[in-house]
Chains A and B, each alone.
Chain A
Amino acid sequence: MAIDAPRFNSLSKNIPPASHDSVPLRRRLVKFALIGFVIFYIGLVLFIPALNVFVQAFSGGLEPFLETFTKRPFINAVGLTLLMAAVAVPLNTVFGLCAAWAIARNKKFPGRTLLMSIIDLPFSVSPVVAGLMLVLLYGRNGWFGPFLEANDIKIIFAVPGMILATSFVSLPFVAREVIPVLEEIGTEQEEAAKTLGASEWQTFWRVILPSIKWGLLYGVLLTNGRAMGEFGAVVVVSGNISGKTQTLPLFVEEAYKQYHTESAYTAAVLLACLAIVTMIAKALLERRTGLKPESKH
């Protein structure tokens, strides 16, 4: 009793005022300190650098900005960037759908985890190493080098190599986004469609595709963003020849190195707009599906 009494006292005296007054105040202080830290950190690392892209691009007014649009190397870079996406996106979409179907609908086959890891490989391999692999395969000293040279086909330091590099780095997105959706919708509707006599194609177009469309769209957007924005893998295989094998990201780097800062920022603004469109679309898709898409990039 002698020991218990003071403890009881201290409890009844000290704790209630603490939980009514000082604790909420301290909690509120912690809250404001943490929110302040987040704004500071995001501002320093993300927001100010992003804002800078737009400020720099228009710092000399609209004229130098628009002038860059009339320059030959710039127009070529825009065209090549669009070409990269126009080839890599359909290729990786078809592959992604097939791989997602294979993985989501065949849970028992051995090596399923291995297959998923292999599909993820481009996310963990350095883009430069990816480019190096293609050089060792299709370059002058590469495995297929003599054959390609004999048939006068150029892959490295030419557009085909750039397409291969772009497809390599943007390969996993569609598969990664579609697998969880396919797993979630289950097989009942597909089986019902088949029982009712639908062919495989009909089942795909009318049953599977409508239910995976948002996941698929998000995967396609990510593929497109990466395909248009890739730098490391493309610069290794392209040779970075101005006006010939230069995409917009490569144009940005070279213009910056040669002190054509306005041109660099004009191209950077275009790419930043692409990023913003991708981010807005992501936010809209999340709201529509109520799902947080996978975030492993």
Chain B
Amino acid sequence: MTSSPLSDVSRRSPSLKLPSIPWLVTFGYLFLMLLLPTAALILRTFTLSPAEIWRIATSPVALSAYDVTFMTALFAGLTNGIAGLIIAWVLVRYDFPGKRLIDAFIDLPFALPTAVAGLTLATVYSENGWIGSLFAPLGIKIAFTRWGVFLAMLFISLPFVIRTVQPVLQEAEREVEEAAWSLGADEWQTFWRVVLPPILPAVLTGIALGFARAVGEYGSVVIVASNIPFKDLIAPVLIFQRLEQYDYAGATVIGTVMLLISLVMLLAINLLQAWGQRYGN
């Protein structure tokens, strides 16, 4: 893989040595920064016996942590899928005062450090916080429960669907909608049969990106949850706790499970994006 582009470049300009430097930097840096650490994690896992890997990966506390992590992230991703679609629609189609401010604000979860997000969500949604105090009389606790995990994941995965759907919606031809409309389709029919199909790949890509981000999230969740096993402990926090207890085998195995799942997600996202591009053409 390395040799063919190198020889390709040097064939084109045999007198210049410089073009090879970008390649060296790219592969050297990726090797040191990404591949070596990834290899360390995977190979460390395989120093354990298969039975032991299975025992750690499927221990009750780990299973419960996967459940909290993945189900909550899925729930948050889907909620943002629907809300994000509506927000993208409103930002593209309607004009109202404050629209540009809201549009700029959408990127906040990308820009705000996760520790700050966790801190402020824990305050606002705690029992005596601005919003948490409204729920407290109803017997609903948000911060320091699984709802807190959901909230943090909702926060950090909010921009993805909006930012993937917006450009597609902007390019969508409104004439088609008008045509459906004038042919007698009602709003729902127009939405389900005309508007949604072309933007569906973008919506799913956004949900997948948000889900992947929420699954790996640590900083905001660790502050806004109580991190109690079998209650609201997520897998990344479990890894961290294992490391703190010097249980390297436990951390490594659960870390490998998480790594494999993120690789599968990465593949799914790439396939979704390829599907979206084919749709666009």
- The chain A residues found within 8 Å of chain B, CB to CB, are 26, 30-31, 34-35, 37-39, 41-42, 44-50, 52-53, 56, 91, 94-95, 97-99, 101-102, 106, 109-111, 113, 115, 117-130, 132-137, 141-143, 164, 167-168, 171, 200-201, 222, 225, 228-232, 235-236, 248-250, 252-253, 256, 264-265, 268, 271-272, 274-276, 278-280, 282-283, 292, 295-297
- Interface residues, chain B, CB within 8 Å of chain A? 1, 4-5, 8-9, 16, 18-19, 21-23, 25-26, 29-30, 33-38, 40-41, 44, 83, 86-87, 89-91, 94, 96, 98, 102, 104-124, 129-131, 151, 154-155, 158-160, 163-164, 166-167, 187, 209, 212-213, 215-219, 222-223, 235-237, 239-240, 243, 248, 251-252, 255, 258-259, 262-263, 265-266, 269-270
**Pair B94/A279 contact, Cβ less than 8 Å:** no
Residue contact A249 to B113, C-beta cutoff 8 Å: yes
Contact A38/B111 with A45-B158, A124-B212 known, Cβ cut-off 8 Å: no
The closest CB in chain A to the CB of B6 belongs to: A109
In the bound complex, CA of A56 to CA of B33 (Å): 39
A-B contact count (CB 8 A): 271
Contact status B239-A132, CB under 8 Å: yes
Q: Contacts of B23 on A, CB cut-off 8 Å?
A: 98, 102
**Complex: A217 Cα to B264 Cα, angstroms:** 32
- Of all chain A residues, the one with the shortest Cβ separation from B30 is A118
A104 to chain B, nearest CB (A): 11
| The one of A46, A248, A280 that contacts B158, using a Cβ cutoff of 8 Å | A46
Residue contact A35 to B30, C-beta cutoff 8 Å: no
Residues of A within 8 A of B41 (CB): 129, 132-133, 136
Give the shortest distance, in Å, between A123 (CB) and chain B (any CB).
8
Q: Taking the nearest CB of chain B, how far is it from the CB of A133, in angstroms? A: 3
Tell me if A's interface is mostly helix, strand, loop or mixed: helix
Count chain B CB atoms within 10 A of each CB in A120, A228, A256 and give the residue with the most. Answer: A256
B124–A282 CB distance below 8 A: no
Known: A125-B262, A167-B33, A295-B164. 16 other contacts (CB 8 A): A45-B158, A46-B105, A46-B158, A56-B120, A56-B123, A95-B25, A99-B22, A133-B41, A222-B110, A232-B114, A235-B240, A250-B115, A253-B115, A253-B119, A256-B122, A295-B110
When distances are taken between beta carbons in the complex, the residues of chain A under 8 Å from B107 are 279, 282, 295
Known: A52-B124, A106-B8, A126-B218. A30 touches B258 (CB 8 A): no
Q: How far is the CA of A231 from the CA of B118 in the complex (A)?
A: 11
Q: Say yes or no: A110 contacts B1, CB within 8 Å.
A: yes
Q: Which of A48, A97, A164, A278 contacts B33 (CB 8 A)?
A: A164
Distance from B139 Cβ to chain A, minimum over Cβ atoms (Å)? 19
Given contacts A95-B29, A125-B262, A127-B218, contact A279 B116 (CB under 8 A): no
By the criterion CB–CB under 8 Å, are A94 and B25 in contact? Answer: yes
Chain B residues, CB < 8 A from A47? 105
User: How many angstroms from the CA of A28 to the CA of B120 in the assembled complex?
Assistant: 36
Q: Once bound together, how far apart are the Cα atoms of A97 and B98, in whole Å?
A: 37
Among B94, B106, B123, B130, max chain A CB count under 10 A is at: B123
Whether A129 pairs with B236 at a CB distance below 8 angstroms is yes
Are A31's CB and B94's CB within 8 A? yes
Contact, CB under 8 Å: A275 / B113: yes
| B240 proximity list for chain A (CB < 8 A) | 128, 235-236
Can you list 27 A-B pairs with a CB-CB distance of less than 8 A?
A: A35-B90, A38-B91, A50-B105, A53-B120, A99-B25, A117-B270, A122-B34, A124-B266, A126-B218, A128-B216, A129-B216, A141-B248, A229-B112, A231-B114, A235-B240, A236-B240, A249-B115, A249-B219, A252-B116, A252-B119, A256-B122, A271-B116, A275-B112, A275-B113, A279-B108, A292-B167, A296-B209
- In the complex, the answer to whether B259 meets A125 with C-beta atoms within 8 Å is yes
- Whether B90 contacts A34 by the Cβ 8 Å rule is yes
Please give me the residue from chain A that is nearest to B34 by CB atom.
A121
Residues on the A chain within 8 Å of B216, using CB: 124-129
Closest partner residue, chain A, to B151 (CB atom) = A45
B265 close to A124 (CB less than 8 A): yes
A256 vs B223: C-alpha distance in the bound complex, in angstroms? 9
Complex Cα distance, B44 from A34, in Å, reads: 51
Complex Cα–Cα for A132 and B216 (A): 13
How far, in angstroms, from A164 to B37 measured CA to CA in the complex?
11
Contact A200 to B16, CB < 8 A, known contacts A31-B94, A142-B40: yes
Query: Contacts of A115 on B, CB cut-off 8 Å?
Result: 26
Instruction: Find B109's partner among A46, A95, A222 (CB 8 Å cutoff).
Output: A46
The residues of B that contact A133 with a CB separation of less than 8 Å are 37-38, 40-41, 255
Please give, as numbers and ranges, the residues of chain A lying within 8 Å of B30 by CB-CB distance: 99, 118-119
